[in-house]
Structure 1
Amino acid sequence: MDMHRRRLLAGAAGLLAAPVARPALAQGRGGPIRLVVGFPPGGSGDLFARFLAEPLREELGRPVIVENRPGAAGVTAVEYFLRQPADGSTLMMHTGSSAVSGPITRRNPPYDPTRDFAWVALLSYAPFAVALNPRVPAQGLAELVALAKRPDSRLAYSSAGIGTTVHLAGEALKEAAGIEMQHVPYPGSGPAITDTINGTVAANIETYGTLLQHHRAGTLRIVATMDPDRTPIAPEIPTAKEQGFDVTAGTYNLLAAPVGTPAEVMQQVSAAVGRVMARPAQKAQLETLGITGIAESTPDQARQFVADEVAKWTPLVRRLGLAL
């Protein structure tokens, strides 16, 4: 497991034990907290925001309202969010696409993920996986790579869009394996998975938990996860790394506040989120989806995680010549 992920997953347990005063938000302005999401209802970012909203209301004593502002892989919501007051009344739920891949894949980045947000906490991590249409004659990555290297190969893989984290993961796998596979972008993970199931494309890269239901139903075959370790809910599926391809990738949910939000508000929200994510029911719900909830993340750790992800993926983006 990557070192910064080890620190986050194992890290500052004292955060949960420390007594936390609640006056800044609970008694302050009294109005609702808006939780901005850059994707339409039903997507993974939206679902995680709604997963968090009610228990966060219980912790903070104020309504938490999910506000969807879809468009441009989360960039539309970010541009709106950056205009909001830094008083704790507005937060934003980020995914890997809006936090990292969205800005670094654009010719003129509309924001800097390391400077333009006050990161509150890293909430979850979900590894990606490689799934094949069952008619593809490959039981593992080595066989898939051998097929892709054939002179007559027409293999293609689908993703949720150009410049998304799954697109970057697919390109990282191609680079590690020394193969060519056409990338077929879709406007979301749903149609990308559907066209892999019906055979329009051979492979799909998406979060492991999203693909697992199709794997178990026999409509797709997961041949590798992109986590350093096998996942506990399906330990029989090998990782890419143990099959000889050193690629680790996944997506995540992070919570951000506007830059300039008072330190006491940041600390209060971070501690409240930690208590929510430490609830056994919340953790169990995420585990069934193949998602690791993170209860110990501090603002400093979340900020460092984003910086590490930007540093990890920027060289690949430059090698690919991506400039959206």
Structure 2
Amino acid sequence: MAARRRQTLIGLVGLVMARPVLAQGRTVELIVPYPPGGGNDIGARALAPLLERELGMPVVVQNRPGAGSQIGMAQVARARPDGLTIAYGLWPQATTLYLDPARQPGFTRGSFTPLALHVTDPGAIVVRVDSPLRSLADLVAAAKARPDDFRMSDNGLLGHEHLASVRLQRLAGVTFNQVHFNGAGPALTALLGGQTEAAIFAVGTASAQMRQGATRALAVLAPQESPFLPGVPTARAQGYDIVAGSTRAFVAPAGLPPEVKDRLATALERAILSPEHAEKMRQLNIPITFQGPNGFAAYWEEEERTLRPLIEELAREGRTP
């Protein structure tokens, strides 16, 4: 009986300690582990005001780019589990960082508390609007004509864009000069500046640039054509069975008190599923594919299971750092 009372007292103390953390006018730091201008930055800044409203406290977006999101994600993994530091990360990038045996990122899946899956945005293969390439067949022909010289950019080593490029090279029997950047912003700058000849972006990023008349998409890396890129055929329809995309989601450090986790997860769900956010994401051409903590955790576990053998194979080939 005494032990039961002691456990109850410990639980009440935990609740009392947890509750003030998100109720004393403190600020939630939302870490975006990529530079400004990319899909993660855009998605985080679109949601931050609504999350602030739901929590009743300031939410400040901080860009912490570098090493393919490793710097920002490691910062969150090391943070105090008090609910005041969360990350808006990118998958599979967050998973491939710790699966790569050549890296020591300072975290694994167990270093984080899953909070909410926000969007899964399919990839698209993109060229500059004045490029002579009009299809994947044109791209493959150009790469075959210049082995190891055709420059394809991605948003980061072992991200979905890089892995999709590896898949295309294997299926087409070509080798690109693969150029890795720390985020979509720098990769887009390189494409528009002519430093690279093609790139893979998420549809949300690709469609925004297409609307501005700067780029043209050759293929969508999804099972069906995207409503946000009308008329752009899938890679599968052009003979290359490639399905890839970026999943953006929210995590906190491991060890988050249950009440704090529940409050953050509930606030994120309400913000993500609000009519205002749905309209904003529609304008950005980014599809909402919300999942709560349990669904996101299951997604992450399955992704890790399927990616592990591929990353090990690439490491054996010397195609990781």
Deviation at 1:298, TM superposition (A): 1.5
Amino acid at match of 2:136: L
User: Which stretch shows the higher mean deviation, 141-150 or 298-307?
Assistant: 141-150
Check if 1:285 corresponds to 2:307. Answer: no
Q: Aligned to 1:257, which of 252, 256, 274?
A: 252
Structure 2: 5+ residue stretches without partners? 1-17
What is the distance in 2 between the residues matched to 1:298 and 1:167? 28
SS at match of 1:82: helix
Residue type matched to 1:105 in 2? D
In terms of mean alpha carbon deviation, does 231-240 or 142-151 score higher? 142-151
Mapped partners of 1:156, 1:123: distance in 2 = 31
Q: Which amino acid aligns with 1:140?
A: S
Larger radius of gyration: 2
Q: Distance in 2 between matches of 1:316 and 1:206?
A: 21
What is the one-letter code of the residue matched to 1:206? F
Q: How far did residue 210 of structure 1 move?
A: 1.7
Residue 80 (structure 1) aligns with? 75
RMSD: 2.7
Deviations 1:176-199 (A, max 9, x none): 333222212234433433333344
Determine whether 1:302 maps to 2:296: yes
In the other structure, the counterpart of 2:10 is none
Residues 168-219 of structure 1: CA deviation (Å, up to 9, x unaligned): 2211222233322221223443343333334443211112222224434554
SS of the counterpart of 2:29?
strand
The alignment status of 1:49 with 2:5, answered yes or no, reads no
**Segment drifting more, 172-181 vs 235-244:** 172-181
Q: C-alpha separation between the residues in 2 aligned to 1:61 and 1:169?
A: 41
- 2:119 aligns with 124
What amino acid is aligned across from residue 49 of structure 2 in structure 1? E
SS in 1 for 2:78: coil
Matched, 1:316 2:310: yes
Counterpart Cα distance in 2 of 1:138 and 1:172: 20
* 2:27 equivalent among 28, 32, 52: 32
Q: Structure 1 residue 90: deviation in Å?
A: 2.1
Q: Deviations over 1:253-288 (max 9, x none)?
A: 211122121223222221221111111221122123
Q: Deviations over 1:72-118 (max 9, x none)?
A: 22222233222322222222221236522333335143245421111
- Map 1:136-155 onto structure 2 (within 5 A): 136-150=131-145, 154-155=149-150
Q: One-letter code of the match for 2:111?
A: D
Distance (Å, rounded) in 1 between the aligned partners of 2:268 and 2:120: 15
Distance 1:291 1:122, change over 3 A: same
Give the structure 1 partner of residue 219 of structure 2: 224
| Inter-CA distance 229–121: structure 2 relative to 1 (3 Å threshold) | same
Confirm or deny: 8 A CA contact 1:26 1:61 kept in the other structure: no
CA contact (8 A) 1:233 1:288 kept: no
Give the corresponding residue for 2:62: 67
Any idea what SS the aligned residue of 1:232 has?
A: coil
Indicate how the Cα distance of structure 1 residues 98 and 133 shifts in structure 2: closer, same or farther if over 3 A, else same. Answer: closer
What SS does structure 2 have at the residue aligned with 1:149?
helix
Contact 1:36–1:90 (8 Å) recurs in 2: yes
The equivalent position to 1:183 in structure 2, one of 140, 158, 178, is 178
Any conservation in 2 of the 1:101–1:165 contact (CA below 8 Å)?
no
Moved more, 95-104 or 226-235: 95-104
Q: 1:109 aligns with which of 90, 104, 111?
A: 104
